């Protein structure tokens, strides 16, 4: 931002310090790029939140929405921004849309607490925001490749890379959608692909991976039940091995070594467990005489 200086009236035309006209002075004070709000949702993420927020410290605003952390997540987040907001957990899609509503600026970058913006991606985003301010880009959203670190290595195959995500977009033209726990951004307009990686530091270990599979499949099964999705035996029998073949063979997960094999096996297990839990919910409702909303049938 330029430094404001007192103007002196010189007849019909005003000049300011340095011999600039008011128009030239105003042009100097126009920001070089569109301002950016970063939105992060979190809960009990003290192991990740510092590195996450450090990677976006260059942004004009950081909004952190916390759903009730019991560790030091909130204290760490306040080192980076005063805009740390508590909001009880309503679900992934709903929480991310709530965070969007708290943002000040039109352009937003949404990342998870276990993600980090690489220096290459940060530079690329800032260049695009400069192009937007200059009128050289009419995109309303940008996708970026997400690279995941798992079991001590970066994963490059098996559907885990490039794993493109739309995370940078105009707030007025984008909204989080999807079925919990699987969310995505729905954009009304052109989306441009960026090249810099969004870094994802996902499961700490196999136990953490299995724990999240258990939690996420429970959420997915309840969502399918609420939508009254049918449970054909075909899906339970054939979708898990098909998922393994797709990830390990067709998407070349084998090139990531043992980690690639484990990823494909656990992805197949996720699919199987999701349908087993859906079957269990239907059986339980039949036994108790209740619907998917807990009402008598």
Report the distance separating Cα 166 and Cα 145, nearest Å.
Answer: 9
Q: Apex CA 66: angle with CA 60 and CA 71, to 5°?
A: 115
Distance, C-alpha 23 to centroid of its chain: 40
pTM of the predicted structure, to 2 decimals: 0.84
Distance, C-alpha 39 to centroid of its chain: 9
pLDDT at 2 over 60: no
DSSP state of 246: I
Residue 231's pLDDT band (cuts 50, 70, 90): confident
- The domain locations on the chain are 1-30, 36-201, 206-288
At a CB cut-off of 8 Å and minimum separation 6, what does 272 contact?
Answer: 236, 239, 240
In tens, the pLDDT along 117-175 reads: 999 999 999 999 999 999 999 999 999 999 999 999 999 999 999 999 999 999 999 99
Q: In 3D, which of 184, 192, 187 has the Cα closest to residue 171?
A: 187
Report the distance separating Cα 162 and Cα 204, nearest Å.
Answer: 21
Cis status of the peptide bond prior to 221, with omega within 30 of 0: no
**Tell me, what's the pLDDT at 248?**
98
Alpha carbon of 17 to those of 5, 29, 39, 127, 263: distances in Å? 6, 14, 40, 30, 64
Which CATH number does 36-201 carry? 3.90.550.10
Average pLDDT over residues 231-251: 93
**Tell me, what's the pLDDT at 234?**
85
Report the distance separating Cα 48 and Cα 52, nearest Å.
Answer: 6
Two tokens at 61? 């605003």
In tens, the pLDDT along 65-122 reads: 999 999 999 999 999 999 999 999 999 999 999 999 999 999 999 999 999 999 999 9
Cis status of the peptide bond prior to 142, with omega within 30 of 0: no
At a CB cut-off of 8 Å and minimum separation 6, what does 15 contact?
Answer: 7, 8, 21
In tens, the pLDDT along 261-278 reads: 999 999 999 999 999 999
């Amino acid at each position: 931002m330029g430094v404001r200086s007192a103007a002196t009236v010189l007849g019909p035309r005003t000049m300011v310090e340095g011999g600039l006209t008011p128009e030239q002075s105003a042009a100097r004070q126009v920001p070089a790029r569109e301002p950016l709000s970063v939105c992060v949702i979190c809960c009990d993420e003290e192991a990740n939140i510092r590195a996450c927020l450090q990677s976006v410290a260059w942004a004009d605003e950081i909004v952190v929405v916390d759903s009730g952390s019991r560790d030091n997540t909130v204290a760490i987040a306040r080192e980076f921004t005063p805009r740390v907001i508590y909001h009880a957990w309503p679900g992934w899609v709903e929480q991310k849309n709530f965070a969007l509503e708290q943002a000040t600026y039109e352009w937003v970058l949404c990342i998870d607490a276990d993600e980090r913006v690489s220096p290459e991606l940060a530079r690329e985003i800032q260049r695009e925001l400069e192009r937007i301010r200059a009128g050289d880009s009419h995109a309303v959203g940008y996708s970026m490749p997400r690279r995941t670190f798992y079991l001590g290595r970066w994963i490059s195959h098996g559907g885990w890379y490039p794993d493109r995500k739309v995370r940078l977009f105009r707030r007025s033209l984008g909204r989080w959608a999807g079925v919990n726990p699987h969310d995505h951004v729905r954009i009304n307009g052109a989306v441009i692909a960026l090249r810099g990686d969004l870094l994802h530091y996902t499961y700490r270990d196999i136990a953490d991976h299995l724990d999240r599979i258990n939690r996420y499949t429970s959420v997915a099964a309840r969502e399918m039940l609420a939508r009254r999705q049918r449970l054909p035996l075909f899906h339970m029998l054939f979708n898990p091995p098909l998922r393994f073949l797709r990830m390990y063979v067709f998407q070349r997960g084998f090139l990531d070594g043992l980690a690639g094999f484990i990823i494909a096996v656990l992805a197949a297990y996720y699919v199987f467990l999701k349908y087993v839990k859906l079957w269990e919910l239907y059986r339980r409702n039949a036994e108790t005489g209740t619907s998917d909303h807990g009402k008598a049938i």
